[in-house]
Amino acid sequence: MARPVTVRPEFWQDLLQQSDWYEAQQPGLGREFEQEVRTVIGGIANAPMMYRAYKGDLRRVLVTRFPHYVVYVASETFVVFLGLVHAAREFEAWLERRQSP
């Protein structure tokens, strides 16, 4: 069952910031990072409840090839993408971004 999907502006800011960083490391790598993130987003949008809750109702999915999590909340009626967080970053410090959808 398709659910409405919302992508918070902070998610796009995270994506652009990290993509720019990867692109500065190696030309083309930023584009590859964006493609991997979009693949994860598509998988989540199709089956958001497939991934278990991590903290309360927050869920996270590791991006293939890159040490970043796509963080989102989902229910039977909606999906909200909150942001990208580096896997080595203290996740709890990032939780303040969580707000009700």
What is the Cα–Cα distance from 89 to 68, expressed in whole angstroms? 9
CA–CA distances in Å: residue 65 to residues 5, 8, 34, 38, 68: 25, 24, 11, 13, 9
Side chain identity at residue 41, one-letter code: I
The more confident residue out of 25 and 1 is 25
What pLDDT is stored for residue 21 in this prediction?
Answer: 96
Question: Which residues does residue 58 pair with via DSSP β-bridges, in sequence order?
Answer: 55, 73
Level-2 CATH architecture, domain 5-97: 2-Layer Sandwich (3.30)
Query: Which of the listed ranges 30-39, 57-66, 78-87, 88-97 does the model predict with the highest average pLDDT?
Result: 30-39
pLDDT for position 100? 44
* Domain positions in the chain: 5-97
Partners of 59 in the β-ladder: 53, 72
Rounded Cα distance between 78 and 12, Å, is: 19
